[in-house]
Amino acid sequence: MPEGPSILLLKESLTPLFKNKKIIRAYGNAKIDMTQLTGKKITDIRSWGKQLLIYCDGCIVRIHLLMFGSSSVDKNIRPARSLRLALQTVKHSLYFYTCSVRLLSPDSDKDYDWEADVLSPEWNPGSARKKLKKRPGTMVCDALLDQRIFSGVGNIIKNEVLYRIKLHPENRIKNLPALKLSGLIKEARNYSVDFLKWKKEFTLKKHWLAHTKRTCLRCRLPLIKTYCGKTKRRTFFCAGCQVRYKN
């Protein structure tokens, strides 16, 4: 599943090609009314966490690439059954495959908490802290993946953040020392910024310290692979240096 930095990069690549351009044809097998898009101008393209938002006259197209979604420009690279939405302008065509496509009302923008997006200029760590405090029994592995708190954080970022700050994934929020809670919030953004930088450099995997790795670089102990928390997402951690706090 593409994480927030990847969607931000997609937004940045699409904006100069499609912003302020008119859609002359919209098609695909997404269960939306394509006639609402044909003839409309794309007024803006934004990203909120893992969602791509294409603003048009009268509606917003929300794209979520889910686990296996993808996109392409000017070349339809997947079978017809995979094509959820294609947007054609005079010069370019945009294709989305195996993803969720929804049409939102123009005022849906106000429903997005831009302070929760870890890569947004409006990111608010204080707000994240308040939300975490309201979920004292939540495991940190689940909290990091909660898009209402850390919009854009995905499984890779989760594993790497917890390894960076030496925190066991099954810690509960209520048991964390104040400084550890601050570190969790700070590194969720810091690692996302690094992720974005490394994606631009095509060096992301070279920087992984825990995700998919077998040995802890600090302790030289085998990393544990498990599926923890309510989310049951793949988790890699070191039982030697990633501390578990208890009452």
Helix axes 125-133, 178-201, angle to 10 degrees: 130
All residue ranges of the chain with pLDDT < 50 are none
- pLDDT at position 100 is 96
Q: At what angle do helices 155-164 and 178-201 cross, to 10 degrees?
A: 130
- Total tally of structural domains belonging to the chain: 2
CB atoms < 10 A from the CB of 152, how many? 29
Considering the domain architecture, whether residues 96 and 13 belong to the same structural domain is answered as: yes
Residues of the domain holding 171? 114-237
Both tokens of 69, joined, read 């979604």
Tokens found for residue 176: 């964390």
Cα dihedral angle (98, 104, 106, 108), rounded to 10 degrees? Answer: -110
Give pLDDT tens digits for 109-130: 888 999 999 999 999 999 999 9
Convert the pLDDT of each residue in 55-85 to its tens digit.
999 999 999 999 899 999 999 988 888 999 9
Report the C-alpha gap between 3 and 188 in whole angstroms. 12
Output the pLDDT for position 246: 83
Structure tokens at 220: 């030289």
Q: Where are the beta strands (DSSP E) in 22-108?
A: 25-27, 42-48, 51-56, 59-64, 70-73, 83-88, 93-97, 100-104
Q: Tell whether 133 and 97 lie within a shared domain.
A: no
How far, in Å, CA of 61 to CA of 48, rounded? 13
| Same domain, yes or no: 201 and 229 | yes
Determine whether 61 is exposed, middle or buried from the number of CB atoms within 10 Å of its CB (0-12, 13-18, 19+).
buried
SS (H, E, C) 139-168: EHHHHCCCCCCCECCCHHHHHHHHHHCCEC
- pLDDT value of position 247: 67
CA distance 153 to 128: 13
**pTM score, two decimals?**
0.92
> What tokens does 147 get?
């898009």
Q: Please tell me whether residues 50 and 129 are part of one structural domain.
A: no
- Among 51, 77, 111, give the residue marking a domain's end: 111
Rg (CA), the chain: 20
Residues 133 and 231 in one domain: yes
Q: Report if residue 204 sits inside a domain.
A: yes
Amino acid at 146: D
Q: Looking at residue 4, what is its pLDDT?
A: 95
pLDDT, residue 109, reads: 82
Cα separations (Å) of 116 from 44, 73, 217?
20, 29, 32
Whether residue 220 is found in the same domain as residue 192: yes
User: What's the pLDDT at 2?
Assistant: 87
Gap between the Cα atoms of 238 and 243, Å rounded: 9
Q: Which amino acid, 135?
A: R
Shared domain check, 200 and 103: no
Mean pLDDT (the chain) is: 96
- Domain match, 95 and 199 both: no
What's the farthest any 2 CA atoms get from each other in the chain? 63
Does residue 141 form part of some domain?
yes
Last residue of a domain, one of 57, 88, 111: 111
Helix (H) or strand (E) holding 1: none
Give the CATH number, domain containing residue 56: 3.20.190.10
The full 3-state SS of 170-219, as one line of letters, equals CCEHHHCCHHHHHHHHHHHHHHHHHHHHHHHHCCHHHHCCCCCCCECCCC
